């Protein structure tokens, strides 16, 4: 059988050209990846709730040489799971995840394991998932101490919170959504800190709702309108709720220290302008540094602790001294 040499050389040339094109594309892709910083995905439960939280984490990771992509789940677990899949598809080397629901991350961990992408969890603690894989770690912040520290603020206040001296402390708790583990822990731990010191506590109302300032203001105003001076102590679950509650007290013509005691979160400037009883401050710099440290260890395949914790501190206002 005779072979047309001209056609044979044309075929060989075409194959060679295709191989050259494939090689060029591969080299271009490799160079692009080599020139790009390693990406870390920052998956937050609800960014607007505490923007400084995400900003500090992004700043720390960026300064360490990582490209950071922030995704806001809008307090939607299904959306967060899809965002995690997207980040993995975009070649993220690690994810920092603030779960919407701490007890519902087994699916997330399975996805991470399948793609061999490690993760550092923050905020809602994934109690049942940390042991599923050795490339997971958790960094706990103020949520783990908030309630008990607020209880201690009230214990240092005038009459230990019993303003009307009737032998019991009457509390209004303003927290987040009832299904939110952080909100549940805040309500339970703040009251528990008072009961644990032998006080008789009347938990007049626990108000569940959004973590926003408007929600805090409206819910506090409604509760004070309903219960009036029967309330002695107001305990707020985050900074936005604290600011809202302070506005409700001021707008209602009441005064912190005289009519109510209020333990909040953040809002340090309000210790003077609104005579807040006390507040819990958390170490954002310390949190960001610990997340970075755990992330770098996981990326480098080094051993990490399953859990790390960053301490909070309290500041007592003049009305508690």
> Is there a single domain that holds both residue 186 and residue 256?
yes
pLDDT digit string, tens, across residues 199-252: 999 999 999 998 889 999 999 999 999 999 999 999 999 888 999 999 999 999
Q: What is the mean pLDDT of residues 19-33?
A: 46
- C-alpha pair distances (Å), 261 with each of 64, 102, 141, 157, 173: 43, 32, 25, 8, 12
> Is there a single domain that holds both residue 254 and residue 302?
no
Backbone angles phi and psi of 269, in degrees to 5: -65, -20
Backbone angles phi and psi of 257, in degrees to 5: 100, -45
The larger pLDDT score, comparing residue 160 to residue 181, is at 160
pLDDT over 90 at 47, yes or no: no
CA–CA distance, 192 with 178 (Å, rounded to integer) = 18
> Is there a single domain that holds both residue 68 and residue 105?
yes
pLDDT over 90 at 62, yes or no: yes
> Is there a single domain that holds both residue 269 and residue 290?
no
297 in helix, strand or coil? Answer: helix
In a domain, 127, yes or no: yes
The tokens describing 63, both together, are: 């300064």
> Is there a single domain that holds both residue 166 and residue 218?
yes
pLDDT of residue 30: 41
pLDDT digit string, tens, across residues 94-109: 999 999 877 778 999 9
pLDDT digit string, tens, across residues 74-96: 888 899 999 999 999 999 999 99
**Number of independent structural domains in the chain:** 2
Percent of the chain with pLDDT over 70: 85
In a domain, 306, yes or no: yes
The larger pLDDT score, comparing residue 123 to residue 287, is at 287
pLDDT of residue 318: 60
> Is there a single domain that holds both residue 244 and residue 258?
yes
Provide the CATH number for the domain around residue 71.
3.40.50.2300
> Is there a single domain that holds both residue 125 and residue 238?
no
pLDDT of residue 103: 72
Q: What value does the mean pLDDT of the chain take?
A: 85
> Is there a single domain that holds both residue 302 and residue 202?
no
pLDDT of residue 42: 96
pLDDT digit string, tens, across residues 108-164: 999 999 999 999 999 878 878 999 999 999 998 656 578 889 999 999 987 899 999
Residue 111: closest CA among 139, 127, 133 = 133
pTM over 0.85: no
* Full residue range of the structural domain in which residue 160 is found: 144-282
> Is there a single domain that holds both residue 136 and residue 160?
no
CA–CA distance, 37 with 39 (Å, rounded to integer) = 6
Q: 8-22, 76-90, 96-110, 302-316: which has the minimum mean pLDDT?
A: 8-22
């Amino acid at each position: 059988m005779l072979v047309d040499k001209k056609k044979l050389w044309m075929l060989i040339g075409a194959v060679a050209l295709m191989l050259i094109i494939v090689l060029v594309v591969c080299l271009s892709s490799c160079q692009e990846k080599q020139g790009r910083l390693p990406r870390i995905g920052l998956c937050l439960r609800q960014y607007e709730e505490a923007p400084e939280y995400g900003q500090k984490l992004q700043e720390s990771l960026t300064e360490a040489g990582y490209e950071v992509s922030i995704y806001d789940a809008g307090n939607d677990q299904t959306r967060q799971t899809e965002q995690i899949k997207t980040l993995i598809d975009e070649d993220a080397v690690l994810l920092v995840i603030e779960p919407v629901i701490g007890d519902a991350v087994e699916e997330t961990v399975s996805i991470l394991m399948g793609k061999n992408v490690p993760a550092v969890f923050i905020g809602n603690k994934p109690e049942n998932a940390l042991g599923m894989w050795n490339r997971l770690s958790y960094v706990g912040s103020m949520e783990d101490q908030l309630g008990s520290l607020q209880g201690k603020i009230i214990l240092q206040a005038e009459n230990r919170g019993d303003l009307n001296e009737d032998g019991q402390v009457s509390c209004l708790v303003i927290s987040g959504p009832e299904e939110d583990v952080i909100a549940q822990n805040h309500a339970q731990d703040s009251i528990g800190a008072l009961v644990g010191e032998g006080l008789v506590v009347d938990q007049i109302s626990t108000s569940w709702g959004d973590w926003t300032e408007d929600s805090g203001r409206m819910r506090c105003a409604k509760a004070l309108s309903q219960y009036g001076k029967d309330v002695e102590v107001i305990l707020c679950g985050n900074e936005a709720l604290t600011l809202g509650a302070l506005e409700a007290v001021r707008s209602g013509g009441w005064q912190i220290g005289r009519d109510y005691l209020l333990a909040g979160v953040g809002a340090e400037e309000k210790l003077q302008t609104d005579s807040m009883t006390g507040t819990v401050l958390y170490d954002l710099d310390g949190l960001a540094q610990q997340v970075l440290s755990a992330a770098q260890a996981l990326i480098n395949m080094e051993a990490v602790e399953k859990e790390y914790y960053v301490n909070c501190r309290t500041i007592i206002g003049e009305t508690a001294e």
